[in-house]
């Protein structure tokens, strides 16, 4: 036993414990800067959208990111911009996100994808665009290997368009004329696909272009004047934000209307057939997560919706005096009664 006052009086076990404690402290001290940097890492993700705010889309995106471990104000700064239908504002919004040096941009609709693509060739862009052909638009080299800074969820338009027109023909006897309600800020590819599919089915179409919500009343009046027997719309921030008003106008003018997203019949549309919004958003946010973890959009294949849902609104059918065919009822994922 040492008698030196500067040497602790320790037995063998205590010496080992002290040594281990010192070693652990040294390891933690060495690792702490790296751990602290990782803990402090806050990603900036921007979102550009052409229309007015659609809370359900914002909620779907933030919930999907939360499920992946991101929390606003903690390790995520989520910067959302809605252009209110202004193309100039949309371009400014995209440029602002570039100036803020966000780590990734979520681009809603074809207009948002166009603005983001024009604003940057380096910041990763994840598009949720159900109107454009990404290859024909020049945004990606191929579907399996985009090759640039853009990837995301797009849509196989011809097949879906034909199916939607067939469904309308099932519920509207002797259907011959269809009005297509169109948001002018969107890519016009779906219009061409609709015209081709309609011609193949022996149907005539008339396009009703809408730039802002105040145009909706005139659009439905024009549909009646042109003797349209039904209305078809595609998704888009303008229409999604004004879905209840569109449903009111359709019922008032006694025009069966086919929507795109499952929530359209919840607002009063007769039916809808299109992608599952929540599933599509989760898949795109998973891409955002992979990009934030270091993967490149150039290597992330373009995605297409895996789930297409048919939703019927029995209440609206009753108001319009329409009886859904049994074959259509059997295909529906949900019937609103």
Rounded average pLDDT over 237-257: 94
Q: Write down the pLDDT at residue 264.
A: 95
Which pLDDT tens digit goes with each residue over 295-314? 999 999 999 988 889 999 99
Q: List, in order of start, the domains of the chain with CATH numbers.
A: 40-156+278-299 (3.40.50.2300), 157-275+308-336 (3.40.50.2300)
Across 18-27, 75-84, 108-117, 250-259, least confident range: 18-27
Which pLDDT tens digit goes with each residue over 159-182? 788 999 999 999 998 999 999 999
Using pLDDT thresholds of 50, 70 and 90, give the confidence band for residue 317.
Answer: very high
Mean pLDDT, the chain, whole residue set: 87
Cross-strand partners of 259? 272
The 3-class secondary structure across 298-326, one letter per residue, is HHCCCECCCCEEEEEEHHHHHHHCCCCCH
Cross-strand partners of 183? 210
E strands, 174-276, where? 177-183, 204-210, 230-233, 257-259, 271-275
Q: Write down the pLDDT at residue 4.
A: 45
Q: Write down the pLDDT at residue 40.
A: 53
Rounded average pLDDT over 26-46: 58
Q: Quote the distance between the C-alpha of residue 131 and its chain's center.
A: 12
Rounded average pLDDT over 240-249: 94
Rounded average pLDDT over 25-49: 62
pTM of the model: 0.77
The closest of 151, 44, 128, 46 to 92, measured between CA atoms, is 46
Q: Write down the pLDDT at residue 3.
A: 44
Q: Write down the pLDDT at residue 288.
A: 97
Element (H, E) at 69: none
Q: Write down the pLDDT at residue 8.
A: 44
Distance (Å) of CA 220 to CA 80, 171, 227, 248, 264? 32, 20, 11, 11, 17
The closest of 229, 179, 226 to 206, measured between CA atoms, is 179
Q: Are 92 and 99 contacting, i.e. CB atoms less than 8 angstroms apart?
A: no
Which pLDDT tens digit goes with each residue over 15-29? 445 444 444 444 444
Q: Are 210 and 219 contacting, i.e. CB atoms less than 8 angstroms apart?
A: yes
The closest of 336, 4, 320, 6 to 168, measured between CA atoms, is 320
């Amino acid at each position: 036993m040492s008698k030196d006052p500067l040497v602790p009086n320790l037995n063998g076990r205590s010496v080992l414990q002290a040594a281990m404690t010192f070693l652990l402290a040294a390891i933690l001290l060495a690792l702490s800067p790296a751990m602290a940097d990782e803990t402090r890492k806050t990603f900036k993700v921007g979102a550009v959208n052409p229309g007015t705010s659609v809370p359900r889309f914002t909620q779907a995106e933030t919930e999907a990111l939360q499920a992946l471990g991101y929390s606003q104000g903690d390790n995520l700064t989520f910067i959302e911009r809605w252009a209110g239908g202004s193309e100039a504002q949309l371009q400014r919004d995209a440029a602002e996100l570039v100036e803020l040096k966000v780590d990734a941009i979520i681009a809603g609709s074809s207009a948002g994808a166009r603005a983001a693509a024009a604003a940057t060739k380096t910041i990763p862009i994840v598009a949720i665009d159900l109107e454009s052909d990404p290859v024909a638009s020049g945004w990606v080299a191929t579907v399996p290997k985009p090759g640039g800074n853009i990837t995301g969820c797009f849509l196989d338009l011809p097949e879906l368009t034909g199916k939607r027109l067939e469904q309308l023909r099932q519920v509207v006897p002797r259907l011959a004329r269809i009005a297509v309600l169109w948001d002018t800020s969107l890519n016009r590819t779906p219009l061409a696909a609709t015209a081709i599919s309609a011609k193949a089915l022996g149907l005539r179409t008339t396009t009703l272009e809408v730039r802002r919500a105040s145009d909706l009343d005139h659009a439905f009046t024009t549909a009646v004047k042109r003797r349209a027997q039904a209305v078809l719309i595609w998704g888009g921030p303008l229409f999604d934000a004004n879905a209840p008003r569109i449903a009111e106008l359709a019922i008032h003018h006694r025009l069966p209307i086919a929507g795109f997203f499952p929530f359209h019949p919840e607002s009063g549309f007769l039916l809808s057939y299109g992608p599952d919004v929540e599933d599509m958003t989760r898949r795109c946010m998973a891409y955002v997560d992979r990009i934030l973890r270091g993967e490149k959009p150039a290597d992330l294949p373009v995605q297409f919706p895996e789930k297409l849902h048919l939703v019927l609104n029995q209440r609206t059918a009753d108001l319009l005096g329409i009886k859904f065919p049994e074959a259509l009822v059997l295909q529906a994922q949900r019937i609103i009664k």
